[in-house]
Amino acid sequence: MEKFIFRFDTILNTKEKIEEDRKNKLGISMKKLVTEQEHLQRLFQKKNDMVNQWQEKSSKIVKISELRSISNNLDIMQNIIDKQLNVVEQSELETENRRKQLLEASKQKKVFEKLKEKDYEEHKYNQLKKEDALTDEIVSYKAVCR
């Protein structure tokens, strides 16, 4: 039986490498997203601690300068949180884009895999026909020789 050689094998291999690369990029992007979300959670926790500190101090007799300082720190923390929210949002968009790119690469690879399957089935059919023809030829030759 002849060996099956897929005519688009190099393209299929390239598509598989592209898909693998995009899987890796998606994984990196997802890890980055998780890291940024964790950082945001830590910032929220710090802000909550600062709010508790401010409430605690405001219930006691303290200098206005201390309250003002805590209030300024809260404003700064809110600005940092806003920036981190933007970073998380950008990271989510990047992850979603990477996911779409991976889906597209998977679709392209599957097209060539289906084509390979069809070509292989056709190859098997042609080989079967050749074997049948050879068998018929052998039988005919033996019949003639008798």
**What's the rounded Cα separation, in Å, for the pair 19 and 36?**
25
Using the predicted structure, report yes or no on whether residue 9 has a pLDDT greater than 80: yes
Would you state the structure tokens that stand for residue 53, as one six-digit string? 């500190």
What does the pLDDT read at residue 1?
67
Tell me: the pLDDT tens digits for 20-37? 999 999 999 999 999 999
Is this prediction's pTM over 0.85?
Answer: no
Contact 15, 112 (CB under 8 A): yes
Tell me: the pLDDT tens digits for 52-80? 988 887 777 778 888 788 889 899 999 99
